[in-house]
Chains A and B, each alone.
Chain A
Amino acid sequence: MLARSGLRSTRILNGARNGATAFTKRSISSNSRASTESPMKLNVTVAASTALAIGSVAWYYHLYGSTAHAMTPAEEGLHPTAYPWVHQQWLKTFDHQTLRRGFQVYREVCAACHSLSRVPYRTLVGTILTVDEAKELAEENEYDTEPNDEGEIEKRPGKLSDYIPAPYKNDEAARAANNGALPPDLSLIVKGRHGGCDYIFSLLTGYPEEPPAGAQVGAGLNFNPYFPGTGIAMARVLYDGLVEYEDETPASASQMAKDVTEFLNWAAEPEMDDRKRMGVKVLTVTAVLFALSVWVKRYKWATLKSRKIVYDPPKGASNNVRS
Chain B
Amino acid sequence: MIIKQLSVFLENKTGRLTELTGILADNDINISAFSIADTADYGILRMIVGRPELAAEVLKKNGFTVKITDVVGMIIPHRPGGLHKALQIISDNNVAIDYMYAFASGDCKATVVIRAESLDKIIDVLQGHKMELLKKGDVYQV
Say whether A associates with B. Answer: no
* Chain A residues near B (Cβ < 8 Å): none
* Chain B residues near A (Cβ < 8 Å): none
